[in-house]
Amino acid sequence: MKNFFKTLAVIVVLLFGFFLFITSNDISGIRSFIVKSGSMEPIIPTGALVVTQYTHPVHLKKDDVITFIRPTEERDFITHRILDINTRNDYTSIQTKGDNNKTPDNWKVGGGNVVGKVNFMIPYLGYILTFVQSKVGILLFILIPAIYILVEEISNIIKLFRKNEHYVAEPVETSILLLALLFGFGSVHTGQTQALLSDSVVLKDNQFVVTLHPTITPAITPKPSSAACGGITTININGNGAGSNNSVSVQNNCPLQTVTQTNQSNVTNTVTSTTTTGGNKTEFNTVSTVLEENRSTITTGEVSSDISVSVTGESNVLIKD
Partner 1 sequence: METKKLIFSLLVVAAVGATAVSATRALLSDAATLGESTFSTGTVDLQISNGGPYGDGPVTGFSDSLRPGENKNYSVWLKNNTSDVVFKLDGKALTPVLSAGIDKGDVKIRFTEVNADGSDLIGGATIQKTLTTWEGGDPFGAGFNLPANGEQRYKMNVELDDSAPAGTFSFSFEFTGTQVIVTPTPTPSIAL
Binding site for partner 1 (CB under 8 A): 36-38, 46-47, 74, 76, 100, 103, 106, 127, 130, 133-135, 138-139, 142-143, 146-147, 149-150, 153-154, 156-157, 160, 167, 178, 181, 185, 188, 192, 194, 196-213
- CB burial of 259-278 (b: ≥16 within 10 Å; e: otherwise) equals eeeeeeeeeeeeeeeeeeee
Q: Residue type at 230?
A: G
The single-letter code of the amino acid at 224 is P
Question: Looking at beta carbons only, is 84 or 153 nearer to partner 1?
Answer: 153
Output the smallest distance, CB 114 to partner 1, in A: 20
Residue 17 CB neighbours (<10 A): 21
**Strand, coil or helix: what is 82?**
strand
* Least distance to partner 1, CB of residue 29, Å: 23
Could you tell me if 78 and 193 are in contact, meaning their C-beta atoms sit under 8 angstroms apart? yes
Nearest distance from residue 242's CB to partner 1, in Å? 14
Which of 210, 149, 183 minimizes the C-alpha distance to 14? 183
CA distances from 49 to 35, 44, 126 (A): 6, 9, 5
What's the min distance (Å) between Cβ of 72 and partner 1?
A: 8
Q: Which is nearer to partner 1, 120 or 167 (CB)?
A: 167
CA dist., res. 141 & res. 252, Å (int): 100
Residue closer to partner 1 by CB (options 134, 236) is 134
Residue 275 CB, nearest approach to partner 1 (Å) = 38
Query: Smallest distance, Å, CB 146 to partner 1?
Result: 4
CB 160 within 8 A of CB 167: yes
Q: Which is nearer to partner 1, 12 or 158 (CB)?
A: 158
Q: Which is nearer to partner 1, 198 or 252 (CB)?
A: 198
